[in-house]
Homo-oligomer: A and B are copies of this chain.
Amino acid sequence: MQKYFISNEELNNNHIISDDVNHIKNVMRFKQGDQIIVSNEEDEYIACLTVLDKKEIKFERLTRLENNNELPFTVDIYQGYPKGDKIQDIIKHGTELGATSIFPTIMKRSVVKLDNTKEELKNIRLNKIAKEAAEQSNRKKITKVCIKPNLKKIDFSEYNVKILAYEETAKMGQLSNLKALIKNIKLNDKVCIVVGPEGGLDLDEVSYLEGLGFVPCALGKRILRTETASLYALSAISYELELK
């Protein structure tokens, strides 16, 4: 069943007045009597559409759902800002795979240039992509997206598990770090994963992050593209800790 994240105000008033009105009427072509799922990221209901006006859709709540597909700890991705539209795919897949937040981060080898206006528009666009992916994958919560313009200004002190995706670790034959870290994740932990952009992290960035307590981890034996690295790490976390 198609899911829509709506605001608290919308849920309390049993109506939808956002962009989703267009999606419900013109993309999904829902009619009166059709059912959808509505959620404000806390409470979730099956709802029956009662009125479909041009700018407002009214619904009646039918059943409250008990759905919790969230990982029981925080997993934040700091993704070196990649070229082109790749960040959109990373956000889609990362949301499906349960990331709490994704921070597209300008690193030394990122080629993108963003001024404040562009950054704001990009953030809006990327959060919309995360909302749609969260709806599709039946997440309880939406992955939050926020561009970080400077790796070295980020405060990582709140995290107690710090994973650095670093292919050189594999070349040195050191393959066990990721598993050791993941196996030790506990309820309510705060995990973060740093992934370099195309061309990888600069050596200076690697030492900086190691100084902050990050553990360099190989993600298998092959060289992964930047857009595959976070998916590997998130899949590994889900595999290790959810498939019990």
Task: Please report A residues at the B interface, Cβ cutoff 8 Å.
Answer: 69, 89, 92-93, 96-98, 136-139, 175-176, 178-179, 218-225, 228, 231-232, 235-236, 238-240, 242-244
Contacts and interface: CB of A to CB of B under 8 A. Distances in A.
Contacts of A231: 93, 228, 231-232, 235
B176 A221 contact: no
A221 B69 contact: yes
A232 B223 CA distance: 17
A225 B178 contact: no
B97 A220 contact: yes
- Counting chain B CB atoms within 10 Å of each CB, which of A139, A175, A178, A239 scores highest? A239
Contacts of A240: 239
Nearest to A93: B228
B96 A222 contact: yes
Contacts of A219: 235, 238
